[in-house]
């Protein structure tokens, strides 16, 4: 069982504000879903074949990208090739 405080902590980690009123209902639904997820405790995995190690990385080739002008035409708050954002320092 998770508590409303646990859900609020998760919401803060995920950067999503939850109102006090919705917190109770979210917690109830959360617990019903997590309870259903408990079926995963019954999973028994068959022994896995170990695969050899190999390099799956491709060569780092430089390819054309979108023109900066077109991309910076999107934000409302672009200036001199930069995008204005909220304060990072408190």
Partner 1 sequence: MKAQAAIAGDDPFNAFITRCEGKPAGTGRLAGMMVAVKDNISTCGIPTSCGSKILEGYTPPYNAHVVDLILSEGAVIAGKTNMDEFGMGSSTENSAFGPTKNPADPSRVPGGSSGGSAAAVAAGMVPMALGSDTGGSIRCPAAFCGIVGLKPSYGRVSRYGLVAYANSLEQIGPLAKTVSDVSLLMEVISRYDPRDSTMHDRLFTPRLTGEVKGLRIGVPAEFFGAGVDPAVAGSVREAIGVMEEMGACVVPCSMPSMAYALAAYYVTCTSEASSNLARFDGVRYGASDDIRKPWHDAFREVRAKGFGEEVRRRILLGTFALSAGYYGKYYAKAQAARRNVSGDFARIFRDVDVIAGPTMPTVAFRIGEKTDPLSMYLSDILTVPANLAGIPALSVPCGKVGGLPVGLQIMGKPFEDEQVLDVAYAYEQGVRD
Dihedral angle sign, alpha carbons of residues 75, 76, 81, 83: negative
For the bound state, the minimum distance from the C-beta of residue 3 to partner 1, rounded and expressed in Å, comes to 12
Contacting partner 1 within 31-90 (CB under 8 A) = 32-34, 36-37, 39-43, 45-46, 48, 58, 66, 70-71, 73-77, 83-88, 90
52 versus 67: smaller Cβ distance to partner 1? 67
Helix axes 4-13, 20-37, angle to 10 degrees: 100
Tell me, letter by letter, the H, E, C secondary structure of 18-29.
CCHHHHHHHHHH
37 versus 52: smaller Cβ distance to partner 1? 37
Helix (H, G, I), strand (E, B) or coil at 13: helix
Tokens, residue 71: 């991309």
Binding site for partner 1 (CB under 8 A): 2, 7, 10-19, 26, 29-30, 32-34, 36-37, 39-43, 45-46, 48, 58, 66, 70-71, 73-77, 83-88, 90
């Amino acid at each position: 069982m998770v508590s409303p405080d646990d859900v609020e902590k998760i919401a803060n980690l995920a950067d999503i504000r939850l109102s006090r009123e919705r917190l109770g209902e979210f917690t109830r639904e959360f617990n019903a879903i997590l309870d259903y997820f408990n079926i995963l405790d019954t999973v028994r995995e068959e022994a896995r074949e170990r695969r050899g190690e190999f390099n799956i990385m491709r060569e780092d080739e430089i390819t054309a990208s979108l023109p900066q002008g077109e991309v910076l035409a999107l934000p409302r708050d672009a200036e001199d090739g930069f995008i204005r954002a909220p304060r990072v320092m408190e």
